[in-house]
Amino acid sequence: MEQLLILSRRDYDAVIFDLDGVITDTAVTHRRAWKEVFDELLHHRCGTGFDPFTDEDYQRFVDGKPRLDGIQSFLSSRNIEFDSGSEDADPGFDSIAALGAEKNRRYRKRLAHGEIDVIGDSLQLVKELHTANFLLGLVSSSRNAKLVLHLLEIGEWFGVRIDGVTLAEEGLRGKPAPDMFLEAARRLGTRAERAVVVEDAESGVEAGRAGGFGLVIGLAADAERRRALMQAGADVAVESLSAFDVSG
Q: What is the reported pLDDT for 34?
A: 95
Kindly indicate the confidence band of residue 138, based on its pLDDT and cuts at 50, 70 and 90: very high
Q: What is the pLDDT of residues 30-69, one digit of tens each?
A: 899 999 999 999 999 888 778 999 999 998 999 888 899 9
- Terminal Cα-to-Cα distance of the chain (whole angstroms): 20
Looking at the predicted structure, is the pLDDT value of residue 1 above 50?
Answer: no
Cα angle 131, 160, 200 (rounded to 5 degrees) comes to: 85
The residue extents of the domains of the chain are 3-25+116-247, 28-112
pLDDT for the residue 2: 44
Phi then psi for residue 118, to 5 deg, are -90, 145
Class of domain 3-25+116-247: alpha beta
Architecture of domain 28-112: Orthogonal Bundle (1.10)
pTM: 0.83
- pLDDT tens digits along 190-233: 999 999 999 999 999 999 999 999 999 999 999 999 999 999 99
Residues with catalytic annotation? 18, 20
Beta strand residue intervals within the chain, DSSP E: 6-8, 14-18, 135-139, 160-162, 195-199, 215-219, 236-238, 245-247
**Which pLDDT belongs to residue 4?**
52
